[in-house]
Amino acid sequence: MFPASFDFFKASSVADAVSILSREDDAKLLAGGHSLLPLMKLRLASPAVLVDISALEELAFVEDKGDYVAVGALTRHHDVANSELLKSAVPILPFVASKVGDPSVRHRGTIGGSIAHGDGASDLPAAILALDSDLVAVGPDGERVIQAKDFFLGFLETALRPNEILTEIRVPKFSGGWSYQKFNRRAQDWAIVGVAAVHNGSTKISLVNMASTPIRASAVEAALADGASVEVASGVASEGLEPPSDLNASADYRRHLAQVLVKRALTEALG
Amino acid sequence: MQITTIVNGRSYTKDVEPRTLLVQYIRDVLGLTGTNVGCDTSSCGACTVLLNGESVKSCTVLAVQVNGQELTTIEGMATDSGLHPIQKAFQENHGLQCGYCTPGMVMAAASFLNENPNPTEREVREALEGNLCRCTGYHNIIKSVLAAANAMEGAM
């Protein structure tokens, strides 16, 4: 399968990438390519212009910033999964990164690419959402910070503007319990349903593949805040949600899975 | 667009369309047909090659993205003195049936053993999760990779 033809630019810096995005119509950023290229090969996406940012080494970093860890958008899943700093400061994040695809996919795919793609079935966007991370975007007017809860707007739609580039993910450190439950049939597949839970005073839970975007399990969070047991709280895991039906699972099966997996996640995170 | 790559130690400068996939560049432009196309959707791993020493699925990388970088394909594994220890281990342990997945399996194993020279069986299984064998000959593939790890440790 071939992608449709496009014009190709290699960006020499973040500013260069922003200026190409601002100048060209219908341009998309290309990093590891493991979300975009499959869509282009299936002709579900046919951008006129690709701006290759994969060589921008200034965007591949993991840095200790005191209260939070700054992760450069071009940090590959492999490097997130193996970061000693993240393993000690935000252990759920490297664990989730190690569950994305398979080793060869993790050698190419980047955390920024995964988040900017905004797929409700992806692992990392849900983790970022449960962690209340801040996302840094750079555009023609400079930098702005978007909270994860305001980032995922709809099916493959994010708050990023067409001429903005996601540069950094700021992940708050935490010392409490956590869990990531990924249910799939084959090791390298997407989650049929996934659950990320972080317990740090309050408990935050987000769900994978239970909506068109990654989504917080607000009903469960509210129940726990009111003192409900794990048993009772996990029972409302799919309340108010419209999960997708596809070849892997019906919406009803996903609702059932969400309850089972939230219970497992809470048992692990709060235990 | 003109790109230069070092493939199996040899430098090539070629003109490619930006939409050319790395696997097409390797097979159709360079004529190195040892790398196979399986699913063409980054699931099966038949097209696995090493990019700067690390395994990647060459059906999901653009050739223009690897300009100036180093690739190793299955053709680059054996030397004049014989098969690479991983290839030898696949041969000795009957680590293949039809052989279609084998180049990808060998390259994925090479990347993994470079990172983890002394793996457990469980680690080998997890390392090869992105490489499918439709003959379902996984048992001997795992055995082959463990044997290769032993042989390569011994050689060092």
Q: Which of B55, B50, B34, B53 is nearest to B102 (CA)?
A: B34
Q: Mind giving me the DSSP string for chain B?
A: -EEEEEETTEEEEEE--TT-BHHHIIIIIS--TTSPPSSSSSSS-TTEEEETTEEEEGGGSBGGGGTT-EEE-GGGT-BTTB--HHHHHHHHTT--SS-SSHHHHHHHHHHHHHH-SS--HHHHHHHTTT---TT--HHHHHHHHHHHHHHHHHH-
- pLDDT tops 80 at residue B156: no
Write the pLDDT tens digit of every residue in A15-49.
999 999 999 999 999 999 999 999 999 999 999 99
Where does chain A hold its CATH 3.30.465.10 domain(s)?
57-172
Write the pLDDT tens digit of every residue in B46-56.
999 999 999 99
A177-269 is a CATH 3.40.50.1370 domain: no
Tell me the shortest Cα–Cα distance from A91 to chain B, in angstroms.
20
Instruction: Classify domain A7-52 by CATH architecture.
Output: 2-Layer Sandwich (3.30)
Please, which pLDDT band fits residue B154 given cuts at 50, 70 and 90? low
What are the structural domains, with CATH classification, of chain B?
2-76 (3.10.20.30), 85-155 (1.10.150.120)
- Tell me which of B2, B37, B49, B56 to substitute to probe the interface with A (most A C-beta atoms closer than 10 Å): B56
Chain B environment of A107 (Cβ under 8 Å)? 51, 54-56, 111
**Which residue is closest to A37 within chain B, CA to CA?**
B60
- pLDDT tops 70 at residue A121: yes
ipTM of the complex: 0.96
pLDDT at B136: 86
User: What is the average pLDDT value for chain B, to the nearest integer?
Assistant: 96
Write the pLDDT tens digit of every residue in A158-215.
999 999 999 999 999 999 999 999 999 888 889 999 999 999 989 999 999 999 999 9
> A108–B127: do the CB atoms touch at under 8 Å?
no
Where does chain A hold its CATH 3.30.43.10 domain(s)?
7-52
> B17–A5: do the CB atoms touch at under 8 Å?
yes
pLDDT at A230: 97
> B51–A107: do the CB atoms touch at under 8 Å?
yes
> B60–A34: do the CB atoms touch at under 8 Å?
yes
> B108–A2: do the CB atoms touch at under 8 Å?
no
Q: Which of B16, B109, B33 is nearest to B73 (CA)?
A: B33
Q: Which CATH class is domain A57-172?
A: alpha beta
CA-to-CA distance for A168 and A145, rounded, in angstroms?
Answer: 9
